[in-house]
């Protein structure tokens, strides 16, 4: 067995020579980036046997993930239960011979370029204990991965764009197992989103945006939902009656985005200005990132409002309030749209509840291509501000 110490420059040269010389690749690498060497790697994609890249904290270049789509024996590590998937193991085999590079370097510009890295290259027969263990490690690492679909790659790219604006990107950038069920929604471009919005015959898009704009202005004017006038509370909740529409802002169809008429217990809580309900919606910020802990606190307080009630509030009533305050983040899911929403987002409609709404509705929407475009100018900017709630235009079935 030969063992050679490698600095960064020697590591890059040796890695390139192994890519050319060997017929099987057994890799477990935390992060990767596009480079001339990655182009050489993917020219040899038929040599992949167990090649797994990590995606923790969105550190792998989305172009690398795109390049892995449909490649046999290529994976992204999405199933690592805790800690961080962090190896830098490059294993190779050709017949009875094997080789490996083990060290500090990721398959990135820094790891193979300007960083101060160190590694060792090992060359020997495939039966030697160290090389057997290295190839086995790569095989085991593949168990933490999933094959890369077009939908996953689109979701990952969107997550990278979103992560760039966060102070601390999430460890798992794509929390849901994304597959063909929601591929169309995830990969839809903003231009197609706009086209489908404008083509709707069920919604008047302009009037819908006016309604959402009025609700958001009301939330900006008052420190608490408890301070809303009774007609405004009822309008936001989707329960306002004809004779309570006493001014021009109230005199419109507040049933869009989920009419909650007939939800008796919910209507009583709104009528009585329940403080738990007000605290729930007050805890959702008016601007900026809405976090999962904020949503979970909303759910706790929302349920408290129905303590002792025979009928509790559920997804329709809760998400109606959320969508009115933050239409850029939440979609009201209720009877007229749940069938289409479930089909598009890939969940079983009979199992949706407040506990899984975030991962089944909010996260897939946030990972969509159309959702992650920069805010456009003009009226399209108004639509962008309400782009999650406005999915009702696409999903509504009269």
DSSP sequence for 335-348: TTTHHHHHHHHT--
pLDDT for residue 176? 59
Asked if the model's pLDDT at residue 369 lies above 90, the reply is: no
As a whole number of angstroms, the distance between CA 8 and CA 20 comes to 19
Residues 162, 293: one domain?
no
Residues 282, 376: one domain?
yes
Which class for 355: exposed (0-12), middle (13-18), buried (19 or more C-beta within 10 A)? exposed
What element of type H or E holds 41? helix 36-43
Nearest to 30 by CA among 90, 70, 82, 97: 90
392 beta partners: none
- The boundaries of the domain holding residue 81 are 2-180
pTM: 0.76
Residues 277, 211: one domain?
yes
Give residue 182's pLDDT band: very low, low, confident or very high (50, 70, 90).
low
Listed residues 180, 206, 223: the one ending a domain: 180
Q: How far is CA 73 from the centre of its chain?
A: 25
Residues 157, 281: one domain?
no
CB neighbour list of residue 316: distance below 8 Å, 6 or more residues apart: 258, 260, 263, 332, 333, 334, 335
Give residue 398's pLDDT band: very low, low, confident or very high (50, 70, 90).
confident
Residues 209, 253: one domain?
yes
Residues 100, 173: one domain?
yes
pLDDT for residue 367? 82
Q: Which residues of 202-211 are buried (b: 16+ CB within 10 A; e: fewer)?
A: ebebeebbeb
As a whole number of angstroms, the distance between CA 53 and CA 30 comes to 6
Q: Which of 198-202, 352-356, 387-391 has the lowest mean pLDDT?
A: 198-202
Listed residues 134, 159, 180: the one ending a domain: 180
Listed residues 180, 211, 235: the one ending a domain: 180
pLDDT for residue 163? 80
Total domain count, the chain: 2
């Amino acid at each position: 067995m030969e063992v050679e110490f490698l600095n960064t420059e020697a590591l890059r040269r040796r890695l390139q020579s192994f890519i050319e010389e060997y017929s099987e690749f057994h890799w477990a690498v935390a992060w990767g980036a596009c480079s001339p060497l990655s182009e050489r790697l993917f020219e040899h994609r038929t040599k992949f046997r167990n090649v797994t890249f990590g995606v923790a904290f969105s550190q792998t270049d989305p172009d690398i993930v795109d390049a892995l789509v449909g490649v046999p024996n290529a994976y992204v590590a999405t199933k690592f239960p805790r800690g961080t998937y962090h190896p830098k193991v490059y294993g190779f085999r050709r017949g009875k011979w094997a080789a490996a590079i083990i060290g500090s370097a990721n398959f990135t510009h820094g790891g193979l370029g300007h960083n101060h890295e160190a590694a060792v290259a090992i060359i020997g027969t495939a039966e030697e204990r160290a090389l057997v263990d290295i190839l086995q490690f790569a095989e085991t690492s593949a168990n933490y991965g999933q094959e890369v679909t077009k939908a996953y790659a689109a979701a990952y790219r969107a997550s990278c764009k979103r992560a760039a604006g966060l102070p601390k990107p999430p460890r798992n950038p794509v929390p849901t197992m994304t597959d063909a069920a929601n591929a169309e929604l995830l990969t839809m471009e903003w231009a197609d989103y706009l086209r489908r919005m404008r083509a709707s015959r069920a919604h008047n898009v302009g009037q819908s945006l006016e309604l959402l704009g009025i609700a958001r202005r009301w939330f900006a004017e008052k420190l608490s939902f408890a301070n809303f006038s009774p007609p405004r509370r009822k309008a936001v909740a989707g329960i306002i009656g004809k004779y309570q529409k006493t001014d021009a802002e109230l005199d419109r169809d507040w049933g869009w985005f989920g009419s909650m008429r007939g939800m008796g217990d919910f209507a009583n809580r709104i009528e009585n200005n329940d403080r738990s309900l007000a605290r729930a919606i007050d805890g959702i910020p008016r601007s900026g990132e809405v976090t999962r802990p904020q949503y979970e606190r909303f759910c706790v307080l929302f349920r408290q409002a129905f303590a002792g009630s025979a009928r509790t509030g559920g997804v329709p009533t809760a998400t109606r309030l959320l969508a009115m305050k933050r239409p850029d983040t939440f979609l009201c899911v209720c009877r007229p749209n749940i069938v289409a929403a479930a089909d598009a987002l890939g969940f079983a409609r009979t199992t949706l509840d407040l506990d899984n709404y975030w991962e089944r509705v909010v996260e897939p929407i946030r990972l969509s291509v159309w959702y992650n475009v920069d805010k456009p100018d003009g009226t399209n900017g108004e639509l962008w501000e309400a782009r999650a709630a406005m999915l009702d235009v696409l999903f509504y079935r009269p």
